[in-house]
Amino acid sequence: MAYAINALTNIFMNSITKKIIFLILIGGLVGLAAFYSYKNHQLAVINLSSTKKITVITTIFPLYDLARIVGGSEVEVSLLLPPGVEPHAFEPKPSDLTRINQADIFIYTNRFMEPWATDLIAGVNNSHLLVIDSSRSIKLMTDEQPDRSQSSAPLDPHVWLDFANLEIMLNNIRDGLIATDPTHTAEYQQNAAAYAQKLQALDRLYRDSLNNCANREIIYGGHYAFGYLAKRYHLTYLAAQGLAPDAEPSAHDLVQLIEQIKTQNIKYIFYEELSSPKIASTLAQ
């Protein structure tokens, strides 16, 4: 009986021991799996954070600003054109091409704003580069200055000076960032949506402020760059030059502008911050 009990206890104990060993083994395996899963997760997190940011190169400042706002901390944005450089007739250097060859995204305004971008893009040797035409789906308008008879009206590329267009550009840049880096889709969407609200508020402020202007004429001693802004707020915009800043204004155009200034008793002439105020000064004199 004692033996039997002992045997029974042995069997019982053996069974307990087996169960315990089994449980330890299972526990160990689960723990090991959890550890590796944790390790892998850790590794994945480390990899992501040590991966270089999405590198974005833009042509002009407004695009740089949009990319920086939408991309937030996930992107490294840089300007192709140094500040103050005339963007219409820019001549890219081989080093500019090298920079784009190493980037993830290249953003330009449109082929009328940066006609040189087409050749630059064609010369790129970077299979993963995403090129964003930020004006995609924006309808370009022509130089709408009165009394300027032009055989073939050129298209006005300064689209970002209309807040509605700027919002389309913002969304084009957002979509490009999402396509390149879908991991941060929610972040890009949030950043873009928040900025769109700011643009809409600014648009309302412009509209409300300009609504009661007695004088709706803007005389500009530079090239015809603010046509979209003028059109949006029903202002009459007269510029000394056409769409391209390199063309000298004709004597005829200047005489016409001076006539306008006199008849409408205009007291202010605007000029561009980073360009020579020569034409504006001439008009003022």
Name the site residues for Zn ion (rule: CB under 5 A): 225
Question: DSSP string of 192-257?
Answer: HHHHHHHHHHHHHHHHHHHHT-S--EEEESS-S--HHHHHHTT-EEEESS-S-TTSPPPHHHHHHH
Nearest distance, CB of residue 159 and Zn ion, angstroms? 11
Nearest distance, CB of residue 158 and Zn ion, angstroms? 6
User: 161 vs 235, which CB is nearer to Zn ion?
Assistant: 161
Nearest distance, CB of residue 226 and Zn ion, angstroms? 9
User: 115 vs 189, which CB is nearer to Zn ion?
Assistant: 115
Whether 263 and 164 have beta carbons less than 8 Å apart is answered as no
**Tokens at 182, concatenated:** 């879908």
User: 195 vs 224, which CB is nearer to Zn ion?
Assistant: 224
What does the H/E/C string look like for 1-14? Answer: CHHHHHHHHHHHHH
User: 117 vs 225, which CB is nearer to Zn ion?
Assistant: 225
CA atoms within 13 A on the CB side of 4: 1
Give the N- to C-terminal CA distance of the chain in Å, as an integer.
Answer: 127
**Tokens at 82, concatenated:** 């140094």
Q: Which residue is nearest to Zn ion (CB)?
A: 225
**Tokens at 81, concatenated:** 């054109």
User: 219 vs 225, which CB is nearer to Zn ion?
Assistant: 225
User: 96 vs 143, which CB is nearer to Zn ion?
Assistant: 143
Nearest distance, CB of residue 257 and Zn ion, angstroms? 18
Nearest distance, CB of residue 197 and Zn ion, angstroms? 28
Identify the burial level of 158 via C-beta atoms within 10 angstroms of its C-beta, where 0-12 means exposed, 13-18 middle and 19 or more buried.
buried
Q: Which helix (H) or strand (E) holds 108?
A: strand 105-108
Nearest distance, CB of residue 233 and Zn ion, angstroms? 19
